[in-house]
Chain A
């Protein structure tokens, strides 16, 4: 092996971190004394940077292609969501209609309305991304087959989809009036210190709505609602204030 080739390999190994600690130390000592090696290293660094820029440009161009797909799928997803929202709205209207006849209080209407507003904004944020695994559960929710949706969502173990699956699970529990099942999940989310404050606040807000939606926990619901409304730093403080005014 020629000296030139050996120097070339040594520099490459140094830049790619392929040397042992001893080799690295020896190389760096040599570098401190050898000006020619120092210049050669700088040249290698520039060549590496050039190749890195090429890799960057290549990935950027791929990301732009995927972006087009992402926003295309977002449009489709929005359309699906819109259909779903319309179906959900129609079903809620039906439920509400019967509810208002049966119940002199309109409180539940406002609780349902607040819940719908919150989960719709989630759908808005999260639509557009790949959600093949969630599609059957979404379909079951559209069909108001919440039992099936719950069983499908509980089976999702993919780490990428678990967070979204959990939110859909909470929604399914709420819509099937199984509030007691939704609350523990929400409590875990609200207590998760590693999660972002926005997500923790949303969980607290949804706990309040789940409490308020059932007679037996209405007092806890009002208490939590008041705590949220009185905390100006809470992301749902305004929503809580609005709901407080609507509730009798």
Chain B
């Protein structure tokens, strides 16, 4: 199974194996370390950069922005390269622009320039902090169910199995209840509702 299939797999062990294999990949680790050295980053940072890059890669893949025409390792290295370069410029950028041209023919160095990381706005950071606090209002089973269904694309049958529920119908009801709980939490937060406008 290749990295792309692994990350998109509904089986958690396959997804973990793919992500872990990227994180432990000697070639990727060596390049990130070498680039960090080249750009004079401290020794502690390469691993943090790789972790953040893997999180971004995972989001991009799950959202379908990366079509897999180029290798996942090349894409990951592109994110790392841009992050290291941006850190030198002291810009805190963590979001990838989606309009890059994904092509298997493109040389690696040129591919890296197709990626651009953009800065998280103050509003986005604040929104995320508020949402993280709100998520604490959901029990762990609910958080797990929502994440599994909406982002890991698990079937209701799989969720039922994981949560020890009778069947897929029960799981569907549980997921819906959790979604409504999350909605209530968001709607009970005046600060967040007030900030709804900048999303437009």
Q: Identify the A interface with B (CB < 8 A).
A: 17, 38-39, 42-43, 45-60, 62-64, 66-67, 70, 122, 125-126, 128-131, 159-161, 163-164, 193-199
Contact across chains for B150 and A48 when beta carbons are under 8 A apart:
yes
Q: Identify the B interface with A (CB < 8 A).
A: 16, 19-21, 23-27, 29-31, 33-35, 37-38, 47, 51, 54-55, 58-59, 62-64, 71, 73, 107-110, 127-128, 131-132, 134-135, 143, 146-147, 150-152, 179, 182-183, 186-187, 192, 196, 199-200
Docked CA distance A51–B186 (Å):
12
A13 to chain B, nearest CB (A): 13
* A-B residue pairs in contact (CB < 8 Å), sample of 19: A17-B63, A45-B199, A46-B131, A50-B131, A50-B134, A51-B150, A59-B58, A60-B55, A63-B23, A67-B47, A125-B34, A130-B24, A130-B26, A131-B26, A159-B71, A161-B26, A164-B26, A196-B109, A199-B34
Contact across chains for A62 and B16 when beta carbons are under 8 A apart:
yes
Chain B residues whose C-beta falls within 8 Å of the C-beta of A47 in the assembled complex = 179, 182-183, 186
Chain B residues whose C-beta falls within 8 Å of the C-beta of A131 in the assembled complex = 26
Contact across chains for A198 and B34 when beta carbons are under 8 A apart:
yes
Sample of 6 more A-B contacts, CB < 8 Å, known A55-B59, A63-B19, A67-B51: A17-B63, A54-B135, A63-B51, A126-B29, A129-B25, A198-B38
Chain A residues whose C-beta falls within 8 Å of the C-beta of B187 in the assembled complex = 43
Partner of A46, one of B26, B34, B58, B186: B186
Contact across chains for B24 and A55 when beta carbons are under 8 A apart:
no
Contact across chains for A54 and B23 when beta carbons are under 8 A apart:
no
Task: Identify the 7 closest CB pairs spanning chains A and B, nearest first.
Answer: A129-B26, A194-B108, A194-B107, A163-B27, A50-B131, A55-B151, A126-B26
**Contact count A vs B, C-beta below 8 Å:** 133
Chain B residues whose C-beta falls within 8 Å of the C-beta of A64 in the assembled complex = 51
Contact across chains for B24 and A159 when beta carbons are under 8 A apart:
no
Partner of B147, one of A46, A49, A55, A70: A55
Partner of B108, one of A38, A160, A195: A195
Contact across chains for A160 and B27 when beta carbons are under 8 A apart:
yes
Chain B residues whose C-beta falls within 8 Å of the C-beta of A60 in the assembled complex = 51, 55
Partner of A42, one of B37, B54, B182, B199: B199
When C-beta atoms are compared, the residue in chain A nearest to B2 turns out to be: A159
Chain B residues whose C-beta falls within 8 Å of the C-beta of A198 in the assembled complex = 34-35, 37-38
Contact across chains for B30 and A125 when beta carbons are under 8 A apart:
yes
Docked CA distance A196–B30 (Å):
11
Contact across chains for B151 and A52 when beta carbons are under 8 A apart:
yes
Docked CA distance A232–B182 (Å):
59
Docked CA distance A70–B54 (Å):
15
Contact across chains for A51 and B151 when beta carbons are under 8 A apart:
yes
Chain B residues whose C-beta falls within 8 Å of the C-beta of A161 in the assembled complex = 26
B24 to chain A, nearest CB (A): 5
Chain A residues whose C-beta falls within 8 Å of the C-beta of B16 in the assembled complex = 62
> A164 with B27: in contact, given A50-B131, A125-B34 (CB under 8 Å)?
yes
Partner of A194, one of B55, B109, B179, B192: B109
Partner of A196, one of B31, B64, B143, B146: B31
